[in-house]
């Protein structure tokens, strides 16, 4: 007998919704994996608020945390006030802060009123830190013990307070003034003798983050030290909270998205592409396009400046797109490589000379390769012209034109790689975002200088002969 095919997740959900059996819907949703419930919300966005409202609050929180900000906004907008209050109060402080900071100020004020007094105090404290600081990411839900506590006492504290903690993989040790002394893995506490004090089993090799530290810097610290959580302290080393690896993964994803958008020559969208209002999207893109357009006007000015040379040797105009595109491409390559290397901590401002030295060699080598190809192309075309296969456009000075193109390619590729590699480091030094030195920006900058290099080489090789 053939086994009957089980109805899919979506089919079962549609059946329950049609029947409007509240108890069955609640039971069904609470039995699903959180990722499956998120998939239901993606498939049936019109039921998103009802899905969250029907779930047990701790499971609803788990689903809400992994949804896009746009979905979160729609859900909170449609939920009854009582359910919204329940959801927000149950959310971890750091996730709640991440959500609230994406809302208009008026909406933040209304939602904060729904919080319990203690949760309201914590949320307002976190919102008071700079937007990209570690303070916005930290959670006050952690377990700490004192130096003088024994292992036995530590276990009692863990049993009492760990239920609401973000993680108990690591326990934090403070002194009587609240200053961070050390952190210790739960495994080390389990293996220690019950009568030993915390001070006796610690090693003093604590790694912490400052509450004002940049989130991108925090991500590098996590990566270098292979931690799942790190303590956050103020200027007096008072323990304020912890940051966990899931927060860092979220930051890394946000930073990556912003950098990709900036490298493409737009402002960071900060919203899903399909959800951002049309005119807001135009505003984000228009600024950079206008700036790049004015940059290209300089290219037109450079062409006009060398118009006499072009009129005397029209053959030079054939290679203008070749020259400026090669410089722009090499600059875009270099800027992309350096921005990526800086993002993952492989390159810092202090490495500028090593980068420059490497890019000088790279520029000369790559330019030499392209220059050789360019010269061979002109030589081959000249031979075909000599044999009457195609019309002769280079004339008797074809080899000088070949030298002009070849040396110009070496120059513009070298200049492009230097500009593309040094500009991100310079912007970082000035406190700006290196991703602003996007590929289109570098290409536009190199276009103008590429023309100057090209016509300078033309004057050097062809002055008194063709121009």
Pick the more confident residue, 136 or 283.
Answer: 136
Highest mean pLDDT among 121-125, 250-254, 370-374: 370-374
User: Would you state the pLDDT for residue 395?
Assistant: 65
The per-residue pLDDT for range 218-247, each reduced to its tens digit, is 888 887 887 888 899 888 888 888 888 888
- The pLDDT of residue 1 is above 60: no
pLDDT, mean of residues 130-159? 86
Say if residues 271 and 242 touch (Cβ distance below 8 Å). no
Burial track 416-438 (b if 16+ CB lie within 10 A, e otherwise): bbbbbbbbbbebbeeeebbbbbb
Mean pLDDT, all residues of the chain: 80
Query: What's the pLDDT at 370?
Result: 92
Per the model's pLDDT, the better-predicted residue between 393 and 193 turns out to be 193
Least trusted range by pLDDT, from 101-105, 132-136, 312-316: 312-316
| pLDDT, position 101 | 81
Q: Most confidently modeled of 51-65, 213-227, 242-256, 268-282?
A: 51-65
Question: What's residue 299's pLDDT?
Answer: 65
pTM for this prediction: 0.56
Are 145 and 227 within 8 A, CB to CB?
Answer: no
pLDDT for 2 equals 43
Across 93-121, average pLDDT? 82
In this structure, the number of other CB atoms found within 10 A of the CB of residue 284 comes to: 17
174-188, 298-312, 380-394, 418-432: which has the minimum mean pLDDT? 298-312
- In DSSP terms, 180 is beta-bridged to 174
Query: Which CB contacts under 8 angstroms, 24+ apart, belong to 445-448?
Result: 445/295, 445/331, 445/419, 446/324, 446/327, 446/328, 446/330, 446/331, 446/412, 446/415, 446/416, 446/419, 446/420, 447/295, 447/296, 447/299, 447/324, 447/327, 447/328, 448/295, 448/298, 448/299, 448/302
Mean pLDDT, residues 316-343? 82
Q: Is the pLDDT of residue 102 over 70?
A: yes
pLDDT of residue 199: 87
Note the pLDDT of residue 368: 92
Please report the pLDDT score of residue 92 as a whole number.
84
Higher pLDDT, 1 or 216: 216
pLDDT category of residue 357 using cuts at 50, 70 and 90: very high
Using the predicted structure, report yes or no on whether residue 287 has a pLDDT greater than 70: no
Reply yes or no on whether the pLDDT at 5 is more than 50.
Answer: no
Residue 8 binned pLDDT confidence (cut-offs 50, 70, 90): confident
């Amino acid at each position: 007998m053939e086994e009957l095919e089980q109805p899919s997740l979506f089919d079962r959900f549609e059946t329950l919704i049609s029947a409007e059996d509240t108890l069955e819907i609640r039971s069904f949703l609470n039995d699903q994996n959180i990722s499956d419930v998120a998939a239901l919300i993606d498939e049936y966005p019109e039921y998103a608020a009802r899905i969250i409202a029907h779930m047990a609050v701790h499971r609803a929180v788990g689903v809400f945390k992994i949804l896009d900000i746009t979905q979160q906004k729609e859900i909170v907008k449609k939920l009854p006030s009582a359910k919204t209050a329940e959801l927000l109060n149950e959310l971890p402080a750091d996730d709640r802060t991440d959500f609230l900071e994406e809302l208009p100020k008026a909406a933040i004020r209304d939602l904060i009123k729904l919080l319990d007094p203690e949760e309201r105090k914590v949320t307002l404290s976190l919102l008071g830190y700079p937007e990209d600081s570690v303070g916005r990411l930290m959670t006050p839900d952690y377990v700490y013990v004192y130096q003088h506590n024994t292992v036995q006492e530590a276990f009692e504290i863990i049993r009492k307070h760990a239920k609401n903690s973000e993680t108990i993989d690591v326990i934090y040790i403070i002194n009587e003034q609240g200053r961070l002394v050390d952190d210790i893995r739960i495994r080390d506490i389990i293996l220690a003798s019950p009568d030993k004090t915390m001070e006796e089993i610690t090693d003093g090799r604590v790694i912490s983050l400052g509450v004002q530290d940049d989130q991108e810097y925090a991500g590098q610290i996590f990566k270098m030290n292979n931690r799942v959580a790190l303590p956050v302290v103020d200027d007096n080393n008072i323990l304020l909270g912890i940051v966990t690896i899931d927060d860092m993964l979220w930051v890394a994803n946000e930073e990556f998205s912003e950098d990709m958008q900036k490298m493409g020559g737009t402002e960071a969208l900060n919203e899903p592409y399909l959800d951002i209002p049309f005119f807001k999207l135009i505003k984000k893109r228009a600024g950079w396009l206008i700036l790049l357009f004015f940059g290209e006007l300089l290219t037109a000015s450079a062409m006009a400046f060398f118009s006499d040379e072009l009129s005397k040797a029209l053959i030079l105009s054939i290679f203008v797109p070749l020259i400026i595109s090669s410089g722009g491409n090499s600059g875009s390559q270099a800027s992309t490589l350096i921005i990526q290397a800086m993002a993952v901590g492989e390159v810092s401002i202090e490495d500028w000379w090593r980068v420059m030295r490497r890019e000088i060699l790279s520029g000369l080598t790559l330019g030499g390769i392209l220059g050789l190809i360019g010269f061979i192309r002109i030589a081959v075309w000249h031979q075909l012209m000599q044999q009457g296969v195609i019309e002769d456009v280079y004339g008797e000075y074809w080899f000088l034109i070949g030298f002009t193109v070849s040396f110009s390619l070496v120059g513009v590729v070298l200049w492009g790689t230097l500009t593309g590699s040094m500009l991100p480091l310079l912007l970082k030094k000035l406190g700006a975002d290196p991703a602003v030195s996007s590929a289109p920006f570098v290409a536009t900058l190199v276009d103008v200088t590429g023309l100057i290099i090209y016509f300078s080489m033309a004057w050097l090789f062809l002055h008194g002969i063709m121009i």
